[in-house]
Structure 1
């Protein structure tokens, strides 16, 4: 059961990272076209709108992969002084807290998307509907939350370490 959940989570995380990669390629092309266009006196109309919405996809698209690889910032000032068991419990707590935060982000942004849809809110220049990007953010945040929750379960059952490599303690 846990292995199949991990396989599903890995697939969703890979898809999320792929979507983030597509967003990065798109934003890079937008900036390139805009800069070249400005050189010739014809900037890309709506470049700022495309870049802002693309950043949503880039950041939240890569968030689940960042968590899976242990890339989030951690402050380990006291980790070397705590027993391994306490560090393990804190890793589980951090994963659960992260999952709760990302579920909260997904819920809040989804609720905001309903308001954006009702009021027909869009970007300033090219009138891209904002709720599509809010929906995307919500889904990508839920993928991150799912990965964090699964990591907490795996840590609890002792099947997965919190970090890929342990630091050498002096």
Structure 2
């Protein structure tokens, strides 16, 4: 699991690198627009592609370290034995949902593999496959988190010798 965590961290760092590239590109675009009235063509497309990478490359690591925002509506009720499994069930449902998203994005990408952007003529498939791959990784993270939740003993329950 240590290798998997490091791999997810590298993906998140790549997301930060894409953000850095996007920041430099945006500043250069603004300077070119203001000073020379010559903005980069396709800057909106480039920004859209970068935003997809920034978000989806970071999602698996964010889930791995538990940095997602969560709302504990049922926290006071989770000590009950009947609701003890709720966090695991939610993780498994989320994992199944993200597997479905990954599968559908992959199918859509295969069906439209020759699609390119209007201005830059950049193919969509590398970005879409990245989205599908990162959704699959996040699903795996959710399944691991759900299994880890099931392994934990509730408060007051001790192991039998």
Class of the TM-score when normalised by the shorter of the 2 chains: 0.7 to 0.9
Shift of 1:111: 0.5
Structure 2: distance between partners of 1:32 and 1:93: 45
Shift of 1:88: 4.1
CA contact (8 A) 1:79 1:87 kept: no
Indicate the residue corresponding to 2:75 in structure 1. Answer: 79
CA contact (8 A) 2:78 2:84 kept: no
Could you tell me which runs of 5 or more consecutive residues in structure 2 were left unpaired when the two chains were aligned. Answer: 154-161
Indicate the residue corresponding to 1:157 in structure 2. Answer: 151
Indicate the residue corresponding to 1:146 in structure 2. Answer: 140
Indicate the residue corresponding to 2:46 in structure 1. Answer: 50
- TM-score scaled by length of structure 2: 0.85
Structure 1: distance between partners of 2:68 and 2:82: 20
Could you tell me which runs of 5 or more consecutive residues in structure 1 were left unpaired when the two chains were aligned. Answer: 1-5, 160-170
CA contact (8 A) 1:45 1:125 kept: yes
Indicate the residue corresponding to 1:166 in structure 2. Answer: none
- Pick one of 20, 28, 48 that aligns with 2:23: 28
- TM-score scaled by length of structure 1: 0.81
Structure 2: distance between partners of 1:72 and 1:86: 25
SS in structure 2 opposite 1:146?
Answer: helix
| Bigger Rg, which one | 2
CA contact (8 A) 1:121 1:130 kept: yes
CA RMSD of aligned residues (A): 1.8
Indicate the residue corresponding to 2:96 in structure 1. Answer: 100
Report the number of matched residues.
Answer: 152
Indicate the residue corresponding to 1:128 in structure 2. Answer: 122
Provide closer, same or farther for how the CA distance between residues 61 and 87 of structure 1 changes in structure 2, counting only shifts above 3 A: farther
